[in-house]
Amino acid sequence: DDRVDFPFEDDQFQARQAVTAAEKLINQDGVKALFTFSGATSGAVAQIAERRHIPLVAVTGLREIGRGKRYVFV
């Protein structure tokens, strides 16, 4: 299947909601990569990405979120 889907969850820029959303996207929706658009949520989701070996593209100016991580790209 050559189709690409982009399921979306609204985390309302809250770290706890971002973690819940990321876990749902991975476990239920079967995503192969994550994207975040806020430093407030990127740090929390980065921990999940590393633990689960899921690439995370974090669109944020907070470069330290990706420092020392293998699956986080800032």
pLDDT reading at 39 higher than 90: no
How crowded is residue 25: how many other Cβ atoms within 10 Å of its Cβ? 21
At residue 5, the pLDDT reads 85
Exposed, middle or buried: residue 65 (CB in 10 Å: 0-12, 13-18, 19+)?
buried
At residue 1, the pLDDT reads 67
60, two tokens? 């944020």
| Proportion of the chain above pLDDT 90, given as a percent | 80
Q: How confident is the model at residue 51 (pLDDT cuts 50, 70, 90)?
A: very high
- State the chain's mean pLDDT as an integer: 93
pTM: 0.88
Q: Which residues have C-beta within 8 Å of that of residue 66, sequence separation ≥ 6? A: 46, 58, 72, 73, 74
